[in-house]
């Protein structure tokens, strides 16, 4: 079993959050596929792996493992990502909240950036920076992102508003030192889609996933119809037959 290498990665900040490799930033957004939406053994050639899913998809043991001897699954088997065949990825989105203590938020962001650098160095993958963090920790989330980085992504939650999305885009442009950035927005919202059209952002409609699931369900129903189940009539044997 492969585990995360016991290594020290280059960092330009006092928190020790690893720096990303500027030469391996995202260029084009290959058709996205959510991690955990298909079998891990599925060939993902030509796909961008997205981690905008429930944490349980890559943390199978839940929060309790933080206090135990086990590592969360993706940390335990990170090579599953770079051996998938996918040329690019959006950073692992470990959940953050404004209510979290600083140490917890730092740990979440550190894990994300540590894995990203491993995916770059050991898998040669291109990275899209995840901007989807709680507002309280947005500055912390910028640590490790080199000046001039132009590839970003976020997930638009139903309780977000366009001002917050616009703010994330402004932060990305500030780090990039240019307005000419690539910014992917995962959402299922017409207003957000129109915003992306105006701002030159990449809109990724999450209804794609819904359609994929509908197709799978339809295929499953069709396969079940092909299965014939024969009724078995129990044979009643009298007592005399046993004697």
Q: Is residue 48 part of a domain?
A: yes
| Alpha-carbon span 117 to 92, nearest angstrom | 11
Name the pTM for this structure: 0.76
Using only the alpha carbons of the chain, give its radius of gyration.
23
- Domain with 145, as residue range(s), is 22-242
In a structure prediction context, what are the per-residue pLDDT tens digits for the chain, which is 243 residues long? Answer: 555 667 889 999 999 999 999 999 999 998 877 766 555 556 678 788 888 876 655 554 333 333 333 334 666 677 778 888 889 999 999 889 999 999 999 999 999 999 999 999 988 999 999 999 999 999 999 999 999 999 999 999 877 889 999 999 999 999 999 999 999 999 999 999 999 999 999 999 976 555 556 566 666 666 666 655 556 666 665 656 555
CB-side exposure of 133: number of CA atoms within 13 Å?
25
Is the torsion defined by CA of 154, 157, 159, 162 positive or negative? positive
Q: Is residue 66 part of a domain?
A: yes
Q: Is residue 13 part of a domain?
A: no
Q: Is residue 65 part of a domain?
A: yes
pLDDT at 208: 55
DSSP-assigned letter for residue 91 = P
Strand 151-155, strand 182-187: pairing: parallel
Counting the structural domains of the chain, the total is 1
Q: Is residue 233 part of a domain?
A: yes
DSSP strand E in 24-68: where? 31-34, 47-50
Q: Is residue 84 part of a domain?
A: yes
For residue 113, with 0-12 CB atoms within 10 Å meaning exposed, 13-18 middle and 19 or more buried, which class applies?
A: buried
Displacement of CA 93 from its chain's centroid (Å): 6
Write out pLDDT tens, residues 149-182: 999 999 998 778 899 999 999 999 999 999 999 9
Write out pLDDT tens, residues 89-99: 999 998 899 99
Q: Is residue 12 part of a domain?
A: no
Q: Is residue 1 part of a domain?
A: no
């Amino acid at each position: 079993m492969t585990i995360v290498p016991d290594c020290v990665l280059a960092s330009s900040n006092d928190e020790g959050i690893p720096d990303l490799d500027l030469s391996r930033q995202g260029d084009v957004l290959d058709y996205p596929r959510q991690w955990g939406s298909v079998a891990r053994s599925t060939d993902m050639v030509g796909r961008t792996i997205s981690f905008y899913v429930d944490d349980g998809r890559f943390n199978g043991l839940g929060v309790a493992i933080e206090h135990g001897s086990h590592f969360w699954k993706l940390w335990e088997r990170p090579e599953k990502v770079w051996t998938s065949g996918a040329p690019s990825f959006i950073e692992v989105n470990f959940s953050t909240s404004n209510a979290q203590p600083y140490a917890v938020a730092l740990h979440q962001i550190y894990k994300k950036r540590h894995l990203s650098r491993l995916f770059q160095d050991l898998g040669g993958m291109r990275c899209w920076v995840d901007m989807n963090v709680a507002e309280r920790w947005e500055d912390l989330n910028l640590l490790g992102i080199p000046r001039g980085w132009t590839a970003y992504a976020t997930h638009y939650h139903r309780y977000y508003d366009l001002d917050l999305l616009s703010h994330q885009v402004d932060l990305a442009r500030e780090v990039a030192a240019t307005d000419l950035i690539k910014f992917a927005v995962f959402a299922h919202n017409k207003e957000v889609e129109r915003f992306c059209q105006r701002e030159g952002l990449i809109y990724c409609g999450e209804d794609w996933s819904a359609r994929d699931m509908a197709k799978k369900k339809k295929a499953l129903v069709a396969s079940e119809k092909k299965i014939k189940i024969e009724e078995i009539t129990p044979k009643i044997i009298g007592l005399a037959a046993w004697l």
